[in-house]
Amino acid sequence: MGIETTRILDEIDKHTARAREGGPEKIRESLAAIRALCDLLLEDGSQAPKKPRAMPLAMAETVNRPQSVPSATRLQEEGANGDSLFEF
């Protein structure tokens, strides 16, 4: 399910017109957009439609596994005057 080539070319035309009307900043933004659209066209034309990439099984297991938090044990130090990190 790709984007129609004519639609992408129309977008390139719009960005070309904006680049001609604008200052250096607008030209730069329009050229970046044109580059991205050209890359999209070239990629789409040279390859079959891409299927979504599946995560490797090992990575999927680590993503879905809840992480455990070790229980905190309080240190009792001589001269400490409270539970706060900022109390010395």
pTM assigned to the model: 0.48
pLDDT averaged over every residue in the chain: 75
**Model confidence over 8-34: pLDDT tens digits?**
999 999 999 999 998 999 999 999 999
User: For a pLDDT cut of 90, what percent of the chain falls above it?
Assistant: 35
> Are 35 and 16 in contact, with CB atoms under 8 Å apart?
no
Amino acid type, 65: R
Can you read off the two tokens belonging to residue 62? 């680590």
- The band of 84, judged by pLDDT with boundaries at 50, 70 and 90, is low
> Are 40 and 4 in contact, with CB atoms under 8 Å apart?
no
- The band of 49, judged by pLDDT with boundaries at 50, 70 and 90, is very low
Amino acid type, 47: Q
